[in-house]
């Protein structure tokens, strides 16, 4: 088993069964390029001070407390020990208190994912039994977990050869969709528009592979950092997005018709360019006889 840093260690409890487990973050941050604000003249990083009032008086840490703002602009202040009393004792136990259908939890509720691993060889058998039982019944185990003094709603499900635990948002944290969309029209749409949209969806339906989608901004930023470190002079990002013209009224039916007629074109994560766009971007040049034998470099 690969060595991974544990985010949390404790026990998984199901009725009278208790299994030692540990949680490992399911997401990685290595791909992110962190940028900081720096003084152009001194090359020193910008630091922030905690100030109060319009005069900008610097406040020492010993004078800073938490406060709840009232409607009149005043604050109710809380001392650190008052808030500490509200924190829950860390029990280091994930207790699955109920089970629900896998499709019954709206994706909107899912927050942070963690891989669940058995903590020790003795725990593996019970771990695998719970994993296989959840997989066979197509259920999620739901419970609560206390982390840093706060109680988190969690769901546990099979994931590959193991288990995954995901923290869930509470119902009070979700905004009512009906209120957000209440101004959307309800008039009947033309059936032919919906049929063409369905045809377009069917033509482009395929198995989701996240590896086919690239974060072009992050890649360009890393390349720019590399150039800067190496002392490169060029800071242009090649292959920029094509200019989008605005202010044009779009005939939605005509756009759908053109889209559904291109059945032979296979999507490639938004990177494919048409021959017309390539020709527009690369003007035809009068080449010497030897250069005419070279292959076209129009593909991006």
- Residue 84: the pLDDT is 76
Long-range CB contacts for residues 5-12, cutoff 8 Å, separation at least 24: 7/114, 8/92, 8/114, 8/145, 8/147, 9/92, 9/119, 10/91, 10/92, 10/93, 10/94, 11/92, 11/93, 11/94, 12/93, 12/94, 12/96, 12/116, 12/127, 12/130, 12/156
pTM for the full predicted model = 0.61
- Residue 265: the pLDDT is 52
Q: Is the Cβ–Cβ distance between 157 and 140 less than 8 Å?
A: yes
pLDDT tens figures, 27-81: 876 667 788 888 888 888 988 888 887 778 888 888 888 999 998 888 898 888 8
| Residue-range domains of the chain with CATH | 8-26+87-171 (2.40.290.10)
Torsion of CA 190, 195, 198, 199, to 10 degrees: -140
Mean pLDDT value across residues 139-162: 90
Structure confidence at residue 296 as a pLDDT band (50, 70, 90)? very low
pLDDT tens figures, 205-236: 999 888 888 888 888 888 888 887 887 554 44
Eight-state DSSP code of residue 212? G
Backbone torsions φ then ψ of 58, nearest 5 degrees: -70, 130
pLDDT tens figures, 256-293: 677 666 654 555 444 444 444 444 444 444 444 444 44
pLDDT tens figures, 113-128: 999 999 988 889 999 9
Distance of CA 168 to the CA centre of its chain: 15
Percent of the chain with pLDDT strictly greater than 90: 32
């Amino acid at each position: 088993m690969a060595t991974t840093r544990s985010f949390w260690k404790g026990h998984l409890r199901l009725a009278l069964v208790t299994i030692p487990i540990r949680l490992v973050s399911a997401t990685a941050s290595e791909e992110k390029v962190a940028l900081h604000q720096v003084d152009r003249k001194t090359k020193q990083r910008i630091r922030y001070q905690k100030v109060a009032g319009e005069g900008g008086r610097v406040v020492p840490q010993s004078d800073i407390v938490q406060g709840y703002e009232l409607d009149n602009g005043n604050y109710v202040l809380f001392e650190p020990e008052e808030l500490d009393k509200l924190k829950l004792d860390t029990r280091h136990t994930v207790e699955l208190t109920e089970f629900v259908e896998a499709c019954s939890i709206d994706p909107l509720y899912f927050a942070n994912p963690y891989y669940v691993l058995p903590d020790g060889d003795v725990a593996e058998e019970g771990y695998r039994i719970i994993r296989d039982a959840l997989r066979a019944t197509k259920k999620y185990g739901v419970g609560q977990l206390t982390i840093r003094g706060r109680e988190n709603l969690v769901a546990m499900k099979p994931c590959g050869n193991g288990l995954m635990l995901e923290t869930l948002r509470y119902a009070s944290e979700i905004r009512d969709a009906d209120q957000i969309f209440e101004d959307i029209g309800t008039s009947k749409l033309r059936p032919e528009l919906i049929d063409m949209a369905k045809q377009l969806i069917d033509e482009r339906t395929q198995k989701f592979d996240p590896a086919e989608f690239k974060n072009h901004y992050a890649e360009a930023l890393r390349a720019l950092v590399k150039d800067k470190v190496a002392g490169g002079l060029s800071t242009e990002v090649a292959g920029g997005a094509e200019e989008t013209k605005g202010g044009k009224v779009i005939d939605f039916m005509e756009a759908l018709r053109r889209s559904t007629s291109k059945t032979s074109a296979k999507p490639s994560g938004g990177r494919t360019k048409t021959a017309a766009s390539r020709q527009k971007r690369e003007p035809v040049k009068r080449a010497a006889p030897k250069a005419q034998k070279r292959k076209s470099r129009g593909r991006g």
